[in-house]
């Protein structure tokens, strides 16, 4: 995102954008790690008849990070997958009510996820993963951190919709997301 488009937004959006881009970079590293580990597993199993349980566990950890750490940035800049067949066509007051309802549902999802994640980690947090003996609190940290950021971004989007502003934080795509033009 250009610094010019960031200046048009408030300090909260700039901070969320910077934090989201940082999380996205971690997710990219996790993608590279996961890809490398999967390739290593395939080679080990097919050529050396060896299983690598630690590699499988790290690949799962990377998968969690890829998904949950990238989501806040996508939502912040309205680049997430959205089914908007109806909402894109509804204008005026009805459109505003529909957008508010949509943001409320997303916030409720975040709250329920965080409550469920907390309840899960209270019970499972004292255990470790089988292959690496990684504490479950650390293993599920990317999911919880990503969902906390997702909830904050969701709250910001709700405030923007209620105040009549566009939900996207700025008109330009984030720096790490590349769009291809389709003729």
- Over the chain (183 residues), the average pLDDT of each successive run of 10 is 48 85 91 94 94 92 91 84 77 87 94 96 93 94 94 91 76 43 42
Of how many residues is the chain composed?
183
Domain boundaries, the chain: 3-162
- At residue 1, the pLDDT reads 43
What's this model's pTM, rounded to 2 decimal places?
A: 0.78
Looking at the chain, list the stretches that DSSP marks H as alpha helix, in order from N- to C-terminal side: 3-7, 11-48, 53-76, 92-124, 136-139, 141-162
Please provide the distance, in angstroms rounded to a whole number, between the alpha carbons at the two ends of the chain. 24
Spatial contact of 88 and 135, defined as CB atoms under 8 Å apart:
no
Return the structure tokens found at 39.
């390739």
- At residue 172, the pLDDT reads 44
Q: Which of 59, 75, 78, 81 is nearest to 19 (CA)?
A: 75
Rounded Cα distance, 104 and 30, in Å: 31
Rounded Cα distance, 104 and 106, in Å: 5
- At residue 169, the pLDDT reads 59
Q: Which of 38, 36, 58, 57 is nearest to 46 (CA)?
A: 38
């Amino acid at each position: 995102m250009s610094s010019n488009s960031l200046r048009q937004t408030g300090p909260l959006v700039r901070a969320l954008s910077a934090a989201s881009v940082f999380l996205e970079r971690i997710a990219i590293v996790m993608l590279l790690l996961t890809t490398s580990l999967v390739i290593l597993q395939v080679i080990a199993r097919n050529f050396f008849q060896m299983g690598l349980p630690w590699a499988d566990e790290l690949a799962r950890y990377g998968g969690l990070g890829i998904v949950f750490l990238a989501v806040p940035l996508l939502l912040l800049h309205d680049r997430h997958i959205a089914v908007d067949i109806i909402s894109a066509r509804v204008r005026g007051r009805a459109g505003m009510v529909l957008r508010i309802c949509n943001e409320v549902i997303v916030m409720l999802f975040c709250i329920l996820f965080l409550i469920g994640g907390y309840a899960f980690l209270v019970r499972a947090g004292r255990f470790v993963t089988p292959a690496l003996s990684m504490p479950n609190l650390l293993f599920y940290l990317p999911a919880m951190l990503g969902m906390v950021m997702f909830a904050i971004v969701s709250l910001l989007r709700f405030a923007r919709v209620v105040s009549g502003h566009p939900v996207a934080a700025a008109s330009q795509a984030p720096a790490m997301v590349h769009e291809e033009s389709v003729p």
